Amino acid sequence: MDLGIDGKVALVTAASRGLGRGTAAALAAEGCRVAICARDPERLAATADELPGEPLVLPEDVTEPSAPRRLVDATVERFGGLDILVANAGGPPRARALEVTDDGMMDAVNANMLASIRLVQASLPHLRSAGWGRIVLITSQAVKQPIPDLAYSNAARTGLWAWAKTAAGDLIDDGITLNLLCPGLHATDRVAELGHRGRLGDPEDFGRVAAFLCSVHVGFLSGAAIQIDGAGTLGLL
């Protein structure tokens, strides 16, 4: 299927490895002009060398409050516009619910809720002026089913989901869709660091689903939180 996004401009944050990298690779393979961000410039440049096309490399810490605007401005300056945003950031550390601290919660909310909101807000003028846009927020299956030892993630990501649900309704008449992707366990460095074993998803497959959510075919699919979890989430809603 032709996704119809050849030549569209896409910004993918936290994209030197893992799910962000898989998404950037899938969008680049569809002919998108892609900007990728991560903190380590050398690692990011090495990732860019492996992707189709000539990705724009933007070394930034996406959790810095001023970074989203710089990322969007640099993407628009290079490519002349912005059509697709895939917002991603690293995940918070492990903690059970009764162990959380104020500082830890602030960090998680900043990284896994506010950074995405800031990216959407910075991107919107460009998507609106194009009269078309696709926004995908990478979160976690935790928005459907809290994970007992990832209390920071549970709290911050469900806040983002609640925000996104109403934001999507405010954008649909502008031709802009906004959806969450909710990964279960995938074979990435984060999952290796957390020590998980067993059946894992492929970040490249994840990226192809993300690219479909950024396609021309997804005009009426908005305000959804879609699990990619190999049937790992047991909730019915």
CB 31 within 8 A of CB 6: yes
Residues 156-195 that bind ligand NAD (CB under 6 A): 183, 185-186, 188-191
CA 145 – CA 139 distance, rounded (Å): 12
- Helix axis angle for 151-171 and 102-109, nearest 10°, is 30
CA-closest candidate to residue 211, choices 187, 191, 232, 228: 228
DSSP letter assigned to residue 95: B
CB 127 to ligand NAD: min, Å: 21
With H, G, I as helix, E, B as strand and everything else as coil, classify residue 45.
Answer: helix
Nearest distance from residue 207's CB to ligand NAD, in Å? 10
Structure tokens, 218: 């997804």
Query: Is 17 an interacting residue with respect to ligand NAD (CB under 6 A)?
Result: yes
Distance in Å, CB of 13 to ligand NAD, minimum: 6
Query: Which of 37, 57, 86, 214 is close enough to bind ligand NAD by CB under 6 A?
Result: 37
207 scored as a contact of ligand NAD (CB under 6 A): no
> x/- binding map, residues 126-145, to ligand NAD, per CB under 6 A?
------------x-x-----
Side chain identity at 208, as an amino acid letter? R
Nearer to ligand NAD, 165 or 190 (CB): 190
Tokens 């917002």 identify what position? Answer: 87
DSSP state for residue 70 in the 8-state scheme: H
CB of residue 226 vs ligand NAD: minimum separation in angstroms?
Answer: 13
* Distance (Å, whole) CA 217 – CA 122: 24
In whole angstroms, give the CA distance from residue 15 to residue 21. 4
Closest CA to 230 of 205, 204, 208, 200: 200
Q: Which is nearer to ligand NAD, 15 or 48 (CB)?
A: 15
Smaller CB distance to ligand NAD: residue 141 or 177? 141
Region of 35-43, 118-126, 162-170, 218-226 interacting with ligand NAD (CB under 6 A): 35-43
Closest contact distance (angstroms) between CB of 53 and ligand NAD is 18
The reply to whether 63 sits near ligand NAD by the rule CB under 6 A is: yes
Measured distance CA(125)–CA(127) in Å, rounded: 6
Which position among 3, 18, 72, 176 is part of the footprint of ligand NAD (CB under 6 A)? 18
Binding site residues, ligand NAD, CB under 6 A: 14-20, 37-39, 61-63, 88-91, 138, 140, 183, 185-186, 188-191
